[in-house]
Amino acid sequence: MAEGGEPVILEDFLLAEDAPLLEMAEEDEELDLYNEMTFGLDQYPMEDTPKLLVPPKMSPEMAEVVAEETEAGEEPGPEVAEQLEELGEPLEEGGTELEQVGSELEEEEEELETEEQDDEQEPCEEPNDLGDPAVMRAVQSKPTLESQDSAVLDSRIGSCWAEFGKEGMLAMDPVMWGSCPGSVPPHRMLEEDKAILQVLERPPPSTNMALDFLGSSIQRGYGGSPRLKRPDLRLMSPKSFPQRFLQQTAGYTSPVPFQPGSPTVGSPPQSLAMHFGPMSPSLDPALLFSPSASSQLNLSTPSHMTQLHPQHQRILTQRQQQGRQVQSVSPKKQWSPKVDPHAGLMTSKEKDWVIKVEMIQLQSENMDDDYYYQWYYHRLERRQAEEELMGGRNKVEPLKLVTPFIQKVETYDSVVRIAGSLGQVAVSTCYSPRRAIDAVHHALVEEVGSHRLRALHRIEKLFLQLLEVEEAERKVSLALGKEQQPCEQEQQSQEVDSIYQALKIRVCSSEEEAEDEFLQLLCVRKGKKLVARLLPHLTREQGEKTLLTITHHLPFLMKKDVLDESLPLLYSPLNEVVGRMTFSKLIKVLQELTQPLSESSELPLAMALKNQFGISLLYSLLSHGERLLSSDVPLEPRSGDFEAWTDTVYLVARELSQVPKASLVEPLFLPSNLLSLFCRYLDKQTVHHLEAKMECSPLASEAAMLC
């Protein structure tokens, strides 16, 4: 495969070259191949085919580079190898695109790679153990993204970001990103990256395997798992750095330098061609990083930008110090000698992003909602109060966790390039879908003709208003005894009133029931819920009016509720309303039930008996009436009230006795004073009959004697 691969390599390598050269190269290449096969690896192919691989200017360049890298003047061998290795890596990524960065660079990279391989004389898969450092032999690099996919404009964007967006290069970040699609040679970055230079001071125990890794990784190209991110090498502690390379060769599918062009890149949130999370690369430094050089050391602590709780911070720094001390004293603990090859799967950038997201979630204007927040500070204050009492210390201000004010980034790249697509794909981002949906809904509202939709829309609107009112009230109640401002109260009642008005409750409307908006609302379960929740907030008159309307249209509502069976929702609040009514009002309501309907011969009363809500409401009304009558409170009845009352009672009794037991529904609540009510007006037999029907608990003997 190596040999088969060579022509490919050279093509890539020569992409930047002129066409004629390419042709010549190909020819010579074949010759070369033949030579190689015949005579074994030829050490100086360049001599035969000068034009083949590299323009002659490469040699001096390379020498230059080598010289640069070995500024310390140390032994070129392993040092250079390592440096080259270093260079090789970022250069690979930076250098997957051969065109833009500058052909010189690429060629440097190739040379350096070959050189290191030269030095090692590893039995690599490729035949490139060339003794002469001057020999330029193209190493199979990954096929350029650009070469493979004509649609890709610039595959470097993502890689730059991945590559240079390390904490170690904070200071240079703005510069880097500004110049990324430009020409900053990666190797210069390496020099500036202090972390790397430190590494170089310690000669690694064996570079053989390390470089082999590099070589093999180069080969894998696309074959390697493109999803695997290269471990965040720079941030590892210097000591373990060479070791990790060791391990990486061992069992690790090659951590191929992350290829932005990989076809699978489209989706994962870690795709670098697109944003990482909601951030855009150019905004990162501004948002997340504070220019802090100490970031490099934050291995175990989360990024410096996150503010930990002070105690937590203290623990972590203590631990770090201890760790460091331990390290200096004795070699690492049991597990460390075998450095984890799988560690560092998440880059610090990713970690920071997660932390950022969580911090954002923590932020909220309404701290009253946060149970944990409340409880925690409650406890803290309590503890401190205790301490104060005990120790008589000065009151220490409770330390609060300050979440960094991370502004949600609402900006995004106007030009999003997705690798692997033809040209520019239509992309749009939405940061608050809820707002967008609501906006659309608003726009649609006017057009909607359907009654039902309108009703639903109204319900939603009113519900929101109601929720706001309740929220305000809750806040007041939580305000720990603070007196509510009269103006606030006024405001609230106004809100409630507006909701009530919006409901458009019309008593005894002459309109068709289908036209009545309030009733339409009531037909929907949520509408019933709305009314049920609203009732406690209403004034007495408003509540009574509502009750009256509901009772008036009770047959209609009951009919509509057959499927839903949500009328009982209303029972409880209506019960409250009933409990406060005067006798006259009560009579009025009852009269609604006793008025014969135009459509059917049946009394609404009778129909109510067959519906759970209806019967419960009826019982509740009767019970209240009985309560009023048997109490000593002066009733102030209007003329005709008592007659109406007795009439009603008789009617009820009659209906009850007539209704077959089977169709009599159990009420939600059976008031205990109904029987005594009946006792007053009816004979014993009837009462017993009714008692059986209603399945009341047997009367107390005293009451029974009265009948």
Partner 1 sequence: EKHLVLLRDGRTLIGYLRSIDQFANLVLHQTVERIHVGKKYGDIPRGIFVVRGENVVLLGEIDLEKESDTPLQQVSIEEILEEQRVELQAKQESEKLKVQALKARGLSVPRADTLDEY
Q: Shortest CA distance to 687 belongs to which of 678, 696, 697?
A: 678
* 340 contacts partner 1 (rule: CB under 8 A): yes
Out of 15, 228, 308, 357, the residue judged to bind partner 1 by CB under 8 A: 357
* 639 contacts partner 1 (rule: CB under 8 A): no
Out of 227, 333, 474, 540, the residue judged to bind partner 1 by CB under 8 A: 333
Location of structure tokens 């076809």? 263
* 338 contacts partner 1 (rule: CB under 8 A): no
Q: Cα-Cα-Cα-Cα dihedral of 680, 682, 688, 689, to 10°?
A: -140
**Looking at beta carbons only, is 50 or 337 nearer to partner 1?**
337
For partner 1, the binding residues in 541-600 under the rule CB under 8 A are none
* 343 contacts partner 1 (rule: CB under 8 A): yes
The C-alpha atoms of residue 480 and residue 582 are separated, in whole angstroms, by: 35
**Looking at beta carbons only, is 358 or 370 nearer to partner 1?**
358
**Looking at beta carbons only, is 343 or 467 nearer to partner 1?**
343
User: From the CB of 173, what's the least distance to partner 1, in Å?
Assistant: 24
* 372 contacts partner 1 (rule: CB under 8 A): no
* 345 contacts partner 1 (rule: CB under 8 A): yes
* 308 contacts partner 1 (rule: CB under 8 A): no
Confirm if 109 and 92 have CB atoms less than 8 A apart: yes
Q: Which stretch binds partner 1 (CB under 8 A): 30-38, 340-348, 543-551, 605-613?
A: 340-348
**Looking at beta carbons only, is 351 or 526 nearer to partner 1?**
351
**Looking at beta carbons only, is 342 or 474 nearer to partner 1?**
342
**Looking at beta carbons only, is 2 or 345 nearer to partner 1?**
345
Out of 24, 228, 346, 704, the residue judged to bind partner 1 by CB under 8 A: 346
Interaction mask 160-199, partner 1, x per CB under 8 A: ----------------------------------------
Out of 330, 334, 394, 658, the residue judged to bind partner 1 by CB under 8 A: 334
Confirm if 578 and 532 have CB atoms less than 8 A apart: no
**Looking at beta carbons only, is 350 or 368 nearer to partner 1?**
350
**Looking at beta carbons only, is 297 or 628 nearer to partner 1?**
297
DSSP result, 324-346? HHHHHHS---TTSSS--TT---S
Q: Which stretch binds partner 1 (CB under 8 A): 34-42, 349-357, 408-416, 648-656?
A: 349-357
**Looking at beta carbons only, is 274 or 577 nearer to partner 1?**
274
Out of 188, 342, 580, 638, the residue judged to bind partner 1 by CB under 8 A: 342
**Looking at beta carbons only, is 153 or 360 nearer to partner 1?**
360
Number of residues that bind partner 1 (CB under 8 A): 15
Q: Which stretch binds partner 1 (CB under 8 A): 44-52, 109-117, 343-351, 523-531?
A: 343-351
Which of 263-299 are b and which e, b meaning 16 or more Cβ less than 10 Å from the residue's Cβ? Answer: eebeeeebbbbbbbbbbbbebbbeebbeeeeebbebe
CA 162 vs CA 101, 158, 354, 509: distances in Å? 16, 6, 17, 70
State CA 260 to chain mean position distance: 25
* 371 contacts partner 1 (rule: CB under 8 A): no
The C-alpha atoms of residue 301 and residue 297 are separated, in whole angstroms, by: 9
Out of 37, 175, 250, 354, the residue judged to bind partner 1 by CB under 8 A: 354
Alpha helices, DSSP H, located in 19-137: 19-39, 45-48, 58-69, 76-94, 103-120
Location of structure tokens 């170089």? 200
DSSP result, 104-166? HHHHHHHHHHHHHHHHHT---SS----S-TT------PPPPHHHH-TT-S-THHHHHHHHH-S
For partner 1, the binding residues in 264-303 under the rule CB under 8 A are 269
Q: Shortest CA distance to 553 belongs to which of 506, 587, 600?
A: 506
Q: Which stretch binds partner 1 (CB under 8 A): 23-31, 172-180, 336-344, 680-688?
A: 336-344
Confirm if 138 and 219 have CB atoms less than 8 A apart: no
Out of 23, 47, 201, 358, the residue judged to bind partner 1 by CB under 8 A: 358
Confirm if 211 and 85 have CB atoms less than 8 A apart: yes
The C-alpha atoms of residue 589 and residue 580 are separated, in whole angstroms, by: 13
Q: CA angle, corner 13, sides to 10 and 18, nearest 5?
A: 100
The C-alpha atoms of residue 158 and residue 154 are separated, in whole angstroms, by: 9
**Looking at beta carbons only, is 357 or 629 nearer to partner 1?**
357
* 72 contacts partner 1 (rule: CB under 8 A): no
Q: Shortest CA distance to 671 belongs to which of 658, 655, 643, 652?
A: 652
* 335 contacts partner 1 (rule: CB under 8 A): yes
Q: Which residues bind partner 1 (CB under 8 A)?
A: 269, 333-335, 340, 342-343, 345-346, 350-351, 354, 357-358, 361
